[in-house]
Amino acid sequence: MSCGQTHRLLSAFVDGELSGADMMRVREHVRNCPACSTDLDDIRLLKCALGQLRPISVSEGLEERLIEALGAAEVPVSVRIWDWLRSTLGRRLEPASAAVALCAGMLALSVGHLPQPSQWDDNVAKALAQPPPVVSTPVSRTSEGLIAASAAESEFRLPGDQVIRPVSAATLTPASAVSFSIR
C-alpha cells in the first residue's frame, strides 16, 4: 500500500471503520513508514483533543443578529445576479454553459487557422475593383436617321410607313433630351 492510499484511510483506521483486510494493510504500512506513523499519531491526538471539547452556550438572539448582519452586508451585483441565475435555472444552466464554453474554445482554436488577408482569393472583390468594360454598340441606320432628323428638324420615315417628326424646340422641357411624335 502506498503512502497516499494509507493517508486517505488513517482517519477511518483510528475510528475503526475499515474492513479487517484494510486494517491489516494500514497497520503494516504504518509500522514500516515513519512519515505515516507520525501522521497517525497526529490524527489520534487531534481526535482526542476534539473529543474533550465541551459545548458552549451562546447568548439569546445570536443567530438572528448574525443573519441581520449578513443581510446588511453589501453583495456585489454580479454575485447577486449569478446567485439568482443558479437558484432560478439550477441544473438547466449547466448544459448551456458547457455549450457556450465549447463554442468559445472552438472559436479560439479556429481563429489561428483563418486565411490571412494576403491569402484571400475573393473573385467578386477583384471583379468589382476592375473598371467595367466599355461596350461599343453598333449604331443602326434607324438611330442614325433619328439623330439626323432631330438635328434637321425634319421628319423621318420608319419601315412600315411610320413617320417621325421632331417636336418643336419651344415645347421641350429642360428635363427631356429629344422628343418625337409618331404618326
Please check whether residue 125 lies inside any domain of the structure. no
Domain hosting 80: range is: 65-103
Percentage of residues in the chain with pLDDT exceeding 70?
61
Bridge partners of 182, per DSSP, are: 164
Grid cell 429629344 is found at 178
Distances from the Cα of 75 to the Cαs of 24, 32, 80, in angstroms? Answer: 52, 53, 7
Residue 30 falls inside a structural domain: yes
* Any domain includes 146: no
Residue type, 88: T
The residue whose grid cell reads 421628319 is 155
pLDDT band at 183 (very low <50, low <70, confident <90, very high): very low
* Same domain (yes/no): 7, 47: yes
Q: Which of 42, 73, 103 is the last residue of a domain?
A: 103
CA gap 72, 69 in Å, rounded: 5
Range of weakest confidence among 2-11, 13-22, 95-104, 109-118: 109-118
- Residue 78 vs residue 141, higher pLDDT: 78
What is the pLDDT at residue 155? 65
Contact by Cβ (8 Å): 93, 84: no
> pLDDT tens across 65-124, in order?
888 888 777 778 888 887 877 777 766 667 777 788 888 888 887 776 666 666 667 676
- Asked if the model's pLDDT at residue 182 lies above 60, the reply is no
Report the chain's C-alpha Rg in angstroms: 48
Q: Percent of the chain scored above 90 by pLDDT?
A: 12
Mean pLDDT of all residues in 32-56: 90
Residue bearing cell 491526538: 45
pLDDT at 177 over 60: no
Look at the chain and report how many structural domains it folds into: 2
Q: In sequence order, what are the residues at sequence separation of 6 or more whose Cβ sits closer than 8 angstroms to the Cβ of residue 6? A: 25, 26, 29, 30, 33, 36
72: which 3 cell numbers? 446588511
Is 42 a domain residue?
A: yes
